[in-house]
A and B are shown apart, each in its own frame.
Chain A
Amino acid sequence: MLIDEKNLNKTAVDFPDIPDFDSLLGDARKEKDLELFGLSEPEAMRHYTKLSNKNYSVDGNFYPLGSCTMKYNPRVSEELVNLNGFANIHPLQPESTAQGALKLLDLTASYLKELTGMDACTLTPSAGAHGELCAIFTIRKYLESMGDAREIVLIPKSAHGTNPASCTLAGYKSEEINTDETGRIDLEGLKLRLQKNPEKIAAIMITNPNTCGVFEKDIVEIAKLIHYIGGLVYMDGANFNAFVGKMRPADIGVDAMHINVHKTFGTPHGGGGPGAGPVVFVKRLEPFMPNPRVVFDGEKYSLKDEENAFGRLRTFNSQFSVIVKTFAYLISCGLDGLRQVSEDAVLNANYLRVKLKDTLHLAYDENCMHEVLFDDSNLKEIGITTLDIAKALIDYGFHPMTVYFPLIVHGAMLIEPTETESKETLDRFVDAIKEIIFKAKNGKTDEIMNTPITTPVQRLDETKAAREPILNCFCK
C-alpha cells in the first residue's frame, strides 16, 4: 500500500548531499515541509505491478467497447517515441534543430488530408472533444469573418455528449434533431426545421456512421441543405474506422472533421488518455484554424502563427508522441492496409450482428458498419438487464461492450469488435453471450445478477460514491 502513515519518510530516489547555499526564494519560501507518501524502489515496482494486474486491457482481453475502437496498439511505436531525437527535443528549441519532428508533423497531416480529401489539417487538439471544439471555434471564426456568427448548431439526438458540450463552449445553442425509425437523421424533419430560421443556423454536427452503427445515407443531401442555408457541415470522426480509404468526407460535403487517432490510428488509450484529435478542413476554413501551424517554405519547416486563426488550444504544438505513433501506424498500414482495416472492422461487426441477432434484440435490423447496436427489449421477459449482461461477460474474460449509449435506444448495447480480433475470439464472445442468456432463461438470473465474481471487487456502490464523495485519502 502506498497510502500509509509509515511511508511518509520513504523514497525510491537517492540524491547527493547539497552543500548549504543562500536561496533566492524570497518570501515565497515554504515554512512547512510537504508530506507525500513514498515507497522504496522494489516496493514501488510491486505496488504498481499488482495494481496493473487488476485491469483488463486490449493486450489481454477482447474489449468491444462501442464507439471507442479499442484495437491492438502496435508496440514498435512505443519504442520509436523513445528515440533520443523524438523524446528529448524541446518545443521551443531552434526550429533548425527540429526539422525531423516538424517534417513528421507535416507528413502526418498530409496523410490525413489525403485520406479525407480535405485541404487543411491541424494537429493541435489534445483529444477528440478538443478537436470538436477546435472545429466549432474555426467555423465560428469563419462565419464571423462573413459578418454573422449565427446562433444555433443542429445535433442529432444520437450524438456523443461532447458535441453539445463543445457547442456551449463556443457560444452556440445546440438544438436536437430527431432520428427516424432506422436510427438515422429524420430528413423530412430536418427540412422542416431548416425552414424555421435558416439564417440562425451556423452548422450541423453529424457523426457518420452514427452512434447506432449505421451510415447516414442521406448525408450528401443533408450537406447540400445545410450549405444552401449558409451553414457548415461538421462531421464527428469518432467512427472513421468504418470507412478509411473507402470514402472521403470531402466528397460527401463535409467542411470539417476531427479524427481520434487513439481510436482509428491505433495509438493506445492509456486508461483515459492521452489522445490526439487532429482536425481536417476544406479550403475556406483554413485561415481560421488554430495556431501554431506547421509551414514548409520549400527548404525548411517552421511553426507559424496566422493572424486570422481563432486562437490557441494548448501550450505547445501538439500531443507530439501521440502523433509520432499515428504516423508509424499510417505508414505501417499504407493505403492497402488501411482499406483492409476498415473492411475487416465492418466485416467483424456484421458477423457479430448475424451471430447474435437471434439471442439479443437488434435495435435496427439491417447491415451495420463497424459496430452493432442491440437494445434490451427481449431482456425484460428473461429477467435481466443490459448491465447484467455487461457484468456477466467479465467472468468470461471479456471487457463489456458500451452500455446505455446511445441514449435514443433503450438499454443500449453497442458492440465494436474492431479489425484486430480473430474469428475465434468473436465466436467465443458469441458463445459467452448465448450462454448468459441461456442461463438467465433457465432460472439462473440470480447467478447472473451476482456477476462478476472473478474480479478483485464485485459490483460497486456508485450511488454511495456520488452521495458521499471520497475523492482522496484525506477526505473524511
Chain B
Amino acid sequence: MRFLPLQNDDRSLMMSDIGIKDVEELFLDIPSDIRSKAISSIDLPEGLSELKVANTLKSLSKQNISCDDYNSYLGAGANQHYIPALVNYIISRGEFLTSYTPYQPEVAQGTLQVLFEYQSQVAKIMGLDVANASLYDGASALAESIAMALRINKKKKVILSGNIHPYYLETTTTFIKHLGAEIEIVPFNPYEEEDLISKIDGNTCCVAVANPDFLGRVSSFNGLSEKCKENKALLIVTGSEPLALGLIKSPAEIGADIACYEGSGLCGKLNFGGPSLGLFATKKEYMRQMPGRVVGKTCDKNGKEGYVLTLSTREQHIRRDKATSNICSNAGLMATAFSIHMAMLGGVGFKNLAKLNHSKAVALYNGIKDAKNVKVLNKTFFNEFAIKLNGIKADELIEKMMEKKIFAGVTLNKFYKEHEDILLISVTECNKSKDIAKFITALLEV
C-alpha cells in the first residue's frame, strides 16, 4: 500500500526485535472473540490506486452544479469571493499544511508569527483590543461569545436579535442551553425594524446583534450600546460578511464588547460550507476569559523576539472541567489563509473590495427597485438584500432561474416556513456587470 514504508522484511526484523512471531500478538489485549468478529463482519472494498481514487471523486464532483457553472446570487451566510492564487499556494505548502498546533514554539515560528499577524488584523478590523487565534465558525463563535459573557457578567438574561442568521441562533441556543442562561430571541420580522433597546434591563447579561444582519441590512445601532452600558450588559456584534467592515462601522465603533464573525468567505472557495473560520475579538479587560488558542510575543533567552501559545491556563488541557471552552483544534489553516489575504489586500484593497461589492449590489438594486413584481425589503444593505416576490413563490422563481443557469438566491422559506415569497440575493465581485444586467432582465420578466 502506497502510504506504508514498511516492507515485509522490515516487519519481520522488527517483530523479531520485539520478540513476537506474528503482529497479532500485539493485539492480544483486545478480546479474541471481538477481534474475530471484526475480521468476519466488516465488509468494505479493497484499496484503490490514486488514479482510481481521482476518477471516483471526479465523477462525484461532476454530479454537482457549481457557482462557477451558473451565475450565482447565493449568500445567506456564505458569500462567494475571489481569493488571489497566492493564498492557496501558500497554505498548500506542507510546512503550513502538515504541521500540528504549535506546541513546540522553536519549530513553529512560521505558524505562530502568521497567527500573531492574524490576531493583529482581526483586532484591527473589529476595532477591538485583542483577538484569539480562531474558532470553528461564525455560529459557534457567537455561542462561545455568549458563554464568555455569561462568565464575565454573572447575570442570566441573554437577548438575541431575531435578525441574526437563524443557523447562528440555533447553534447558540444548542450550545448554551445547559449554562443556566435565560435566552430571549426577538421574533424574526422581515417587514419591521426590531426594537431591542426596550428589552434591555438590569437583569440583562448580554445582547447580540448582527451587522450586516441576516437580510443584509447594515446599521449603526444608535442608542443600543448606551442602553447596554447603563444596564451593565455586554454588547456582542456578529455577522457572516466581515468584508462589510471595510465600509461600515466596526463592532467597536458601535460599542461592542465582543465581536465574532464568519471569516471563511475571505479565505477560500465556498466548499459547500466548510471548512469555516470563526473570527473572534474582544476588549483587553476580558482577555483572560476568551475561548480558544492565543499567540503572544515574547523573547528567547538571548533576547530575540519570538512567539508562543499563551494564556493557556484558560484552556482545557490545563483547566479541564473549569476551562473557558472545550476547543482544542481550531481553524488554523483558514486563519492563515485569511491573514495572507488581508496582507495582500491591505487597508486600501480591503476598502476597494468592499466598495466593489457594494457598488455591484447597488447596481442590481437600482435595476429592480421600481419593478412592480418585486419589492426590495431593505432600506440599507452592503452586498446582500431581500426581495419580496409578487405572484410567485421564491422556490418557483429559483427553479425558473435555473433554466437560465442562474442560482437566483436563497429562499427565506428554508429557515422560516411562513416566508415563502422572500428571496435573499447576494452580489459580490464574482458577479460580472453584464450578468447582473441579464439577471435584472430575468427578474423583471418573472
Taking the closest CB of chain B, its distance from the CB of A208, in whole angstroms, is 10
How many A residues are at the interface, by size bracket? 35 or more
Nearest CB of chain A from residue B300's CB, rounded to whole Å:
4
Residues of B within 8 A of A128 (CB): 328-329
Q: Are A350 and B18 in contact (CB under 8 A)?
A: yes
With contact pairs A461-B299, A461-B300, A471-B294 given, residues A312 and B174 touching in the complex (Cβ less than 8 Å)? yes
- A460's contact among B17, B45, B95, B106, by CB below 8 Å, is which? B106
| Nearest chain A CB to B34 CB, angstrom units | 5
CB distance from B207 to the nearest CB of A (A): 17
Most chain B beta-carbon contacts within 10 A, residue among A8, A140, A338, A343: A343
**Given A247-B30, A394-B104, A273 and B348 contact (CB-CB distance below 8 Å):** no
Q: Is the CB of B170 within 8 A of A312?
A: yes
Which chain B residue has the least Cβ–Cβ distance from A7? B346
Nearest residue, chain B, Cβ from A50 = B110
Q: What chain B residues lie within 8 Å of A311 (beta carbons)?
A: 170-171, 173-175, 177
A140, B174: Cα distance in complex, Å: 12
20 additional contacts (CB under 8 A) given A56-B107, A425-B5, A458-B106 = A8-B347, A11-B348, A19-B359, A85-B60, A89-B64, A90-B78, A93-B407, A97-B402, A97-B407, A101-B272, A127-B330, A128-B329, A165-B316, A168-B326, A268-B98, A314-B140, A331-B47, A343-B23, A348-B14, A462-B310
Which one, B123-131, B198-206, B436-444, is touching chain A? B123-131
Which one of B99, B171, B218, B349 lies within 8 Å of A314 (CB-CB)?
Answer: B171
Q: How far, in angstroms, from A251 to B30 measured CA to CA in the complex?
A: 11
Query: Are A89 and B270 closer than 8 Å at their CB atoms?
Result: yes
- Please tell me if the beta carbons of A90 and B345 are within 8 angstroms of each other in the complex: no
B340 to chain A, nearest CB (A): 6
CB < 8 Å neighbour of A12 from B84, B139, B220, B312: B84
Contact A91 B270 (CB under 8 A): yes
For residue B56, which residues in chain A have a CB less than 8 angstroms away from its CB?
331
Closest to B219 in A: A28
Distance (whole angstroms) from the CB of A264 to the closest CB of chain B? 13
Binary contact readout A19-47 vs B (1 if CB under 8 angstroms, 0 otherwise): 10111111111110111111101001101
Binds B, one of A59-67, A226-234, A374-382, A436-444: A59-67
Smallest CB-CB A-B distances: 4 pairs = A38-B346, A272-B332, A316-B273, A311-B174
Q: Which of B138, B344, B398 has the most CB of A within 10 A?
A: B344
- Nearest CB in chain B: distance from A53 CB, A: 7
Which of A186-194, A214-222, A278-286 is found at the contact surface with chain B? A214-222
- Contact across chains for B275 and A466 when beta carbons are under 8 A apart: no
Contact B274 A274 (CB under 8 A): yes
* A38-B343, A247-B30, A248-B37 as given contacts; A321 in contact with B94, CB under 8 Å: no
A323: B residues at CB distance < 8 A: 274
Q: List 14 A-B pairs, Cβ < 8 Å.
A: A18-B352, A24-B379, A89-B66, A92-B77, A103-B60, A169-B175, A271-B336, A273-B329, A311-B171, A312-B174, A322-B274, A328-B57, A419-B6, A472-B119
Assuming the contacts A33-B351, A220-B31, A334-B44, asked whether A458 and B76 have C-beta atoms less than 8 A apart, the reply is no
